[in-house]
Amino acid sequence: MKIDWQKIGIKELAALVSEKLRGEGVDSILVGGACVSIYTKNKYQSFDLDFVTHAAIKEVTALLAELGFQRESSRHFIRRDCPFFIEFVAPPAAVGSEPLKGEKKLKTKFGTIVLMTPTDSVKDRLAAYYHWNDQQALEQAIMVAGSQKIDFHEVKRWSEKEGHIEKHRQFLKRLRSKR
């Protein structure tokens, strides 16, 4: 399959990378802003693909080189003709102090992406809002919650555990006003 690297979408690239790694027995999961892009159908456009894997970075480097991505710094990879930036963030895959609650598999014509669930994606964005008061992250959490089926009880439970129930109320208030 011929790939137009300049015009490739984030979902397609995520699938290509996931398949490449899986083909060599390397498990990975897509986390962060790329999941927001996918779940909101690019209402929010991220140019970073953050993966978590327990494989050695050396092994990942060799596999990504086969897709034309070169290691730019310790954990970042770029391909000159591709607008996206790939990062392998340090494991474990977590939101706040808890591990991810499962994963979602998404089939595309380029292969299957394993990514965090929509509920974990909302929690992941809320974590940035809770800890750094990041308003963009709050907007992204609202976008995902407005586009996907979310377990709101789970989001509330987790928010309480993280100690941010007041900000959780703000999130719900903003979400209701957008609907």
Partner 1 sequence: MVIGKTMLEGIFGNIIVEKILFTLYVYGEGYPLGMARTFEEPVNRFQQQLKRLENAGIIVSRLIGRVRVYTFNPRYPFLVQLKALIAKAFEFLPEKEKDAYYKKRTRPRRTGKPL
Give the integer Cα–Cα distance in Å for 88 and 74: 9
Q: Which of 13, 31, 34, 95 binds partner 1 (CB under 8 A)?
A: 95
| Residue 85: CB minimum distance to partner 1, A | 16
DSSP character at residue 92 = P
25 binds partner 1 (CB under 8 A): no
Ranges of H-type helices in 56-149 = 57-65, 118-132, 135-147
Q: Smallest distance from the beta carbon of 91 to partner 1, in angstroms?
A: 8
Alpha-carbon span 75 to 35, nearest angstrom? 19
Minimal distance in Å, beta carbon 2 to partner 1? 35
Q: Does 97 bind partner 1 (CB under 8 A)?
A: yes
Please tell me the distance from the alpha carbon of residue 27 to that of residue 57, in angstroms, as a whole number.
13
CB count within 10 Å of CB 72 equals 13
Which residue, 11 or 164, is less far from partner 1 as judged by CB?
Answer: 164
Query: Residue 124 Cβ, how far from partner 1 at the closest point, in Å?
Result: 9
Examine residue 78 and tell whether it contacts partner 1 (CB under 8 A): no
Query: Which residue, among 155, 163, 124, has the nearest Cα to 46 in the 3D structure?
Result: 124
- Beta strands at 85-89 and 48-52: parallel, antiparallel or unpaired: parallel
Among 41, 54, 131, 178, binds partner 1 (CB under 8 A): 131
Q: Does 23 bind partner 1 (CB under 8 A)?
A: no
In the complex, which residues of this chain contact partner 1 (CB under 8 A)? 74-75, 89-90, 92, 94-99, 127-128, 131-132
